[in-house]
Amino acid sequence: MSNELIQTNTAKLTTAFATALVVADTQIHDDLAYNSIKEWDSTAHMLLIAELENVFNVMLDTDDIIDMSSVAKAKVILSKYGVSF
């Protein structure tokens, strides 16, 4: 996997999080966790899942949606669907 593609996926992930949570890109980092900021509530989590599915053209399993508790975890889960970071 090329570094360029990995960087692109990381940028896409950051943008997807920022779009769904309606926060600045600079607020998106690996340690950012579900419910740790008011913008990442349960409603935003649903929008985030939809955004990630759309951006990476995947359909996440319910268990993965439940497990997606942080940005770092999102990367791990998306890796299972062939998206590299």
Partner 1 sequence: MISKTPVSLITGASRGIGRAAALKLAQTGHELILIARDLIALEQVQADCQALGALVSIYAVDLTDRDAVTALFRQIHTALQDKALSHLVHCAGQMQDSLLAMTRLTDMDKLMALNVGATVQLCQLASKLMLRHKTGHLLLLSSKVAEAGSAGQAVYAATKGAVSALVKSLAKELGPTGIRVNAVAPGFIETDLTAHYSEEKKQQLMAQISLRRLGQADEVAAAIGFLCSTDAGYITGHILAVDGGFSV
> Which residues are within 8 A (CB) of 85 and not within 5 positions of it... i.e. 6 or more apart?
6, 9, 10, 13, 75, 78, 79
Closest separation between CB of residue 23 and partner 1, Å?
17
* H helix intervals, 22-70: 42-56, 62-67
Restricted to residues 1-60, the positions that interact with partner 1 (CB under 8 A) are 43, 46-47, 49-51, 53-54, 59
Closest separation between CB of residue 6 and partner 1, Å?
25
**Shorter beta-carbon distance to partner 1: residue 23 or 47:** 47
Side chain identity at 65, as an amino acid letter?
I
Closest CA to 83 of 10, 14, 25, 24: 10
Is residue 62 a contact residue for partner 1 (CB under 8 A)? Answer: yes
Residue ranges that bind partner 1, judged by CB under 8 A: 43, 46-47, 49-51, 53-54, 59, 62
